[in-house]
Structure 1
């Protein structure tokens, strides 16, 4: 009898492309994984050295000071109100939350077995459902979700600004759809600060907390991915349940990391600097791709370029860019079968590395 066999991790499949790109003088310019390259603020790093926070076990739900900082940030930057006492909790980075949520919701309501998620999206939405033994059902629009799937849904995921497309959604429309059907809406808003529209950063929580959870991370906002810290906020019944079940799993962000996160969430100035960096890199990478004969539009949010591949062959485009520019990109199939004709370019290399790639294609 054969049990679950984990599929290859998507980025492990890029070894061939990495090897081609590495043959260039100066090596590969890796624009595949969205890992930050810039330094966190010095004050954040200083807070990380807090010995008092390292001695004892930290609260799994987050210290009250951390939850208050998160609530104040939501109010100040996103224009919504949440109660730090009952509507906010910490997570150990948001990926573990995404991957583990379906199993906890299935325990809460065994009569449902389906996770609805965007058809072109971060692969962990689908994998989280798979790991929980649930049905993973993709959707391109809310209108295409059939009633039989909605009736079985444990939750529906939304992601705005979206990875990999940079799309900015109408989160209030999604919240209304989910509330009418009694389905928890989980809104992944990890790129909220990197919105390039006139409307600026927003959150599903502007419509209230009933039936929704917003998920946020300090990985991208604060260049703090290695510290693994994030938080979720929303419906007090859902947050309260998840707080309690996650305690039993031992999911607790380290105390010093929570101390540093409080400092990071209270400082908006460094985020403005980071926004300028990412927007400048996106524009420069668009020029680099154009010089290599790949036309792409700037996104409405996040820090990725989502580019159509000539003839719909993203792997061929990835090899071509590796050979000509030493650039490593992510073929679209990493983000679902409906995106095989596209590739993603992450603006996550320092400016000098991007300029190195630019010289290789005469940009």
Structure 2
């Protein structure tokens, strides 16, 4: 008899004890756990949300022509790749829903396969998407170590660069080649692409679109997480299939949000300013964590510090008690992450300095 699915506790709901400890400090907790933006979107983006009549009718599930064109322009301008906005790109309602739902749609497309491959230390929704689709979720340390039998059963292999939580930069050309050699679609989660520190921003689409999907979000790039808007681009046949099936599921970003996203995607100045903010916050947080006894360095990409420790929960309690900050134990990102904790650079500078003062690290 098949057991019913019981949803596990949501990872961040497990931080209630840590948050309560941090909240005891004067000024309250400095929450560096969830990677939610704290800075405002550009005023022109917010103005576009209320302009025109985009809220009147049903928006196209694949994205308006203007939105798809803006996304394609951004890919070419910032990432150096070219896609056809009419056949190789479509909108999604934020990329988390896309990550979580992709396996079920791919399983319908190819019932002979039942496996989702994903990085052993990674965003938990890759694994959960497989579980929700009734698929096997198989973690990997490196693509070269994936068993041939698992590759033969794979519906998709996820890669993520810059990576959450580690900030690692991957060889996306090698990932595309690996998938094509085995007939496995490669889904490249690139939501931190604009926040690459050790190399220019890039995309798997620079290797061509055959057999790959690049997944992008405006949540991090544009501080637009509450609007829930993103897009996927790549393999023409696969994009077409997903466009059609997602229409039936009613997955359509709101019209005003799509209009605002056009403004956001066409403006690079605010992104350059945001890059500078995150880099400065990462450097300051590295100083603060070092002063607290947890030495670290700025990673190659993304806006997290990924810090090794003997006991991540003990470290989280220690930092909450002494410094009043809330961090994420590494097991949230898979059992292989248990020896680490993650610190997100997502609080305003004055809140970060409040944490610094608590340990005498202000300077």
TM range (shorter): over 0.9
Q: Which residue is equivalent to 1:8? A: 9
Partner Cα separation in structure 1 for residue 127 and residue 306 of structure 2: 20
Q: CA deviation at 1:37?
A: 0.2
**SS, match of residue 55 in structure 2:** helix
Distance in 2, Cα, partners of 1:142 & 1:63: 36
Matches within 5 A, 1:319-338: 319-338=317-336
1:1-363 alignment, distance < 5 Å: 2-197=3-198, 199-309=199-309, 312-363=310-361
> How far 1:297 moved relative to its partner?
1.7
Report runs of 4+ in structure 1 exceeding 4 Å deviation: none
1:78-117 deviation digits (Å, cap 9, x = unpaired)? 0000000000000000000000000000000000000000
Mapped partners of 1:264, 1:298: distance in 2: 27
- Cα separation, 2, equivalents of 1:107 and 1:194: 35
What displacement does 1:192 show? 0.1
Alignment partner of 1:46: what SS? helix
Alpha-carbon distance in structure 1 between the residues aligned to 2:293 and 2:137? 37
SS in structure 1 of the partner of residue 118 of structure 2: strand
Query: Does the residue aligned with 2:232 lie in a helix, a strand or coil?
Result: strand
Once residues 347 and 219 of structure 1 are traced to their aligned partners in structure 2, the CA distance between those partners, rounded to angstroms, is: 15
**How far, CA to CA, are the matches of 2:16 and 2:52 in structure 1?**
40
- Name which of structure 1's ranges 290-299 and 158-167 shifts more when overlaid on structure 2: 290-299
Aligned length: 360
In structure 1, what is the Cα distance between the partners aligned to 2:276 and 2:112? 47
Q: Could you state the TM-score of these two structures normalised by the residue count of structure 2?
A: 0.99
Alignment TM-score, normalising by the size of structure 1: 0.99
Structure-2 separation of matches of 1:328 and 1:233: 35
Please list the CA deviations of residues 156-213 of structure 1 after superposition, one character each: whole Å capped at 9, or x if unmatched.
000000000000000000000100000000000000000001x310000001000000
Unmatched tracts of structure 2, length 5 or more: none
- Structure 1, unpaired ranges of 5+: none
1:50, distance to aligned residue in structure 2 (A): 2.1
Q: RMSD value over aligned CA atoms?
A: 0.6
